[in-house]
Amino acid sequence: MNKNSCDIIIIGAGPSGCIAAREIKKYNKKISVLILEEHSNIGEPMQCAGLISIDGFKKLGINPPKECILNIIYGARFYSPSNKSFSIKVDKPMAYVIDRRIFDKYLAEQAIKSGVKLKLGHKVSKIIVPHENEYVKIHGTKNNEKFEISSKIVLDAEGIKGNILRQCGFQPPSKIIPAIQIEMENIKINDKEIVELYFGRNISPGFFAYLIPTSKNSARIEAASNNGNPYNYLVKFLKTHRGINERIKNANIVEVIGGGIITSGPVKKTHSNNMMLIGDSAGHVKATTGGGVIMGGLCSKIAAKIAAQSILQDNFSSKMMHQYEKLWRKKYGNEFFTMNMVRTLIDSIPDPIIDELFDTIDKYKITKIIESYGDMDFQSEVIKRVIFSKKMPLLLVSLIFGLFKHIF
Ligand SMILES: Cc1cc2nc3c(=O)[nH]c(=O)nc-3n(C[C@H](O)[C@H](O)[C@H](O)COP(=O)(O)OP(=O)(O)OC[C@H]3O[C@@H](n4cnc5c(N)ncnc54)[C@H](O)[C@@H]3O)c2cc1C
């Protein structure tokens, strides 16, 4: 193997790329893995609220460093379009609010410690996928100078941009909703252990707005929109929402970020010969919440296993890479499907019906089912529990009632 080639190249040093890289080395130290990252700093620009489930970390086998944990979350309060609300809170910590810059750097360091090579400032501009079992050619630039490198397998972990995957004939995620998030200090936090989620077509169409406390007096606040500029929705939310405007009177903005949230779930095809898509690139994101770190990481671990096996067997055929697609669909396909269905349902329900549903959930203590069976990443179980519970007829009645209100 010369210095211009290696076994596996990973495009992008986000969580998915770094998790996959480290995992490949766990299978076999001798496999050479190189990550190419376009930015000169890992984790920047940050495009994340950093809300990650603790169970998810455990499933990934990641113990996040203390320095990256800003806050611990025990529950959520959900607000309807007309500001009705219900909350769920559990005894044990559910999630961490993390600093993604520190977290991503930690993951990259872990990968490097395991023997992975990382090249920063290397932007991949084009890849040429060969006929089966030949080398992939990767072209790019570093400081305006061209480089060319080849590998047996490429894992595309480029995130939502989708430039490379499009070039290779893959379809990117079909729904990416633009979002704006600000971080504010000196804000009045009602409960530091609770995240706040705000639903409504006038608040955050196609998604929801959130307030995620990062400390007892600071928070990340976001609005997204599939119908016009999310910035306008965020400004309106901050200025006019009854639950927010009073609390931010003395607040100052410390950071503004923008990004795209995938709400359509996995893409149609995530492999070809010599190539696999992982993370946001594959649409491995929860369509309900837009969270992609855990599900992306879990699927990346599967990709790593198949990548390692194919190097060891010297087989980079489409049939071999298909094992990845088969395995993640078998393990997580139902979860992605259910979350997609829920997202489609929420998107199609008019605001008055959401208001009615909120009333019913609160009045008939459906929150108890959520508290008992809720899982931030694997949401199908709690959805099934609600559907097959005695409370379902009540939800259906409020749905019909809300529909009448909406029509008349
Ligand atoms: C506003 C917002 C809030 C979010 N909040 C949460 C949250 O609370 N919890 C959660 O789990 N998820 C959240 N997400 C989603 C989460 O950020 C992503 O799912 C996650 O970062 C995906 O990881 P990844 O490794 O697939 O991609 P990324 O983290 O996007 O990493 C891709 C990497 O590839 C690099 N790259 C791209 N193109 C090239 C190229 N051509 N050459 C070389 N390098 C390249 C990029 O620089 C980047 O470092 C949020 C997203 C947004 C926009």
Q: Is residue 317 within 8 Å of 272, Cβ to Cβ?
A: no
For residue 320, report the distance from its CA to the centre of ligand 1, in Å: 27
For residue 245, report the distance from its CA to the centre of ligand 1, in Å: 30
Ligand 1 atom nearest to 281, measured from its CA = 26
Tokens linked to 30:
């001798």
- Nearest CA to 25 among 45, 6, 50? 6
Instruction: Please report how many Cα atoms fall inside a 13 Å half-sphere around the Cα of residue 25, on the Cβ side.
Output: 19
| Spatial distance between the Cα atoms of 5 and 330, rounded to a whole number of angstroms | 33
Average pLDDT over residues 66-78: 97
pLDDT band at residue 173 under the 50/70/90 scheme: very high
What is the location of CATH 3.30.9.10 in the chain? Answer: 71-97+176-262
Q: pTM of the predicted model, to two decimals?
A: 0.95
Which residues have C-beta atoms less than 6 Å from ligand 1? 11-17, 36-39, 47-52, 123-124, 157-159, 161, 163-164, 179, 181, 222, 259-261, 279-280, 285, 290-294, 296
Ligand 1 atom nearest to 180, measured from its CA = 1
Among protein residues, the one whose CA lies closest to atom 10 of ligand 1? 291
Residues in the chain: 408
Q: What CATH topology corresponds to 5-47+101-174+266-341?
A: FAD/NAD(P)-binding domain (3.50.50)
Query: 208 pLDDT exceeds 70?
Result: yes
Distance between alpha carbon 81 and the CA centroid of its chain, in Å?
24
Q: What is the pLDDT of residue 332?
A: 97
- Among 289-298, 355-364, 393-402, top mean pLDDT goes to 289-298
In CATH, the architecture of 71-97+176-262 is 2-Layer Sandwich (3.30)
pLDDT band at residue 2 under the 50/70/90 scheme: low
- 3-state DSSP percent of the chain in helix, strand and coil, to 5: 40, 25, 35
Long-range (24+ apart) CB contacts under 8 A made by 382-390 are 383/338, 383/342
What is the location of CATH 3.50.50.60 in the chain? Answer: 5-47+101-174+266-341
